[in-house]
Amino acid sequence: MIVQLRLDERLIHGQITTAWSRALDIDTILVANDHAAGNVLLRNTLMMARPADKKVAIKSITDTLHLLKDPRAEKMKILILVDNPKDALCLAEELNIHSINIANYLKKKSPDKIKIADYCSADKEDFILFEKLIEGNREVFSQMVPNSEKHDFKVLLHRAK
């Protein structure tokens, strides 16, 4: 069962290992990222950051879809991590994901980026993807850590326009 899909450019990091993995009561962290799946150095770095008591997998988007469409995945409690809105939208649509946390998205280089929140900015392409993400029957929100306020991402997105 997919507990949450989180868009966070940092993928596995301290907030994931210490706060989110406990708050969501997950047993598996799945990094869905083509670049990380194909880069041995990045994969090893992410594995070093993982929590010791959780299973961790780093898969391409295609392999993630295959893995999560397997009925055996329903027995697991999974946090999926992506680093961009295109991958988030692809997974949300293909896997019918209903809980999406837009957390940290700032690094993309683009001349026309607009600030959505202190920890999230987007260009025109990203805005289109975010709009499609919030169109579905999904809870799309922004929350950096479990004990911080949860913000409706649709409201944040429309304020930024």
DSSP assignment letter at 105:
B
The pLDDT score that the predictor gives to residue 83 is 97
Spatial distance between the Cα atoms of 50 and 54, rounded to a whole number of angstroms: 8
Q: List phi, psi (to 5°) of 132.
A: -65, -35
* pLDDT score for 27: 96
CATH number for the domain including 115? 3.40.35.10
Specify the pLDDT at position 15: 92
Structure tokens at 28: 């598996």
* Tens digits of residue pLDDT in 79-119: 999 999 999 999 999 998 989 999 999 988 888 899 999 99
3-state secondary structure of 108: coil
Residue where the block lists tokens 């880069």? 39
Looking at residue 136, its pLDDT comes to 79
Q: How many domains does the chain have?
A: 1
Rounded Cα distance, 157 and 161, in Å = 7
Which is more confidently placed, 156 or 137? 156
Q: Which pLDDT score, from 0 to 100, does residue 137 have?
A: 82
Structure tokens at 138: 């999904």
Its domain, for residue 120, covers: 2-160
Give the pairing type, strands 2-8 and 78-82. Answer: parallel
Is the CA virtual torsion 102, 108, 114, 115 positive or negative? positive
Average pLDDT score over the chain: 94
8 Å CB contact between 139 and 98: yes
Instruction: Quote the pTM value.
Output: 0.95
pLDDT band at 52 (very low <50, low <70, confident <90, very high): confident
Residue 25, sorted as left (phi over 0), alpha (psi -120 to 50) or beta, turns out to be left
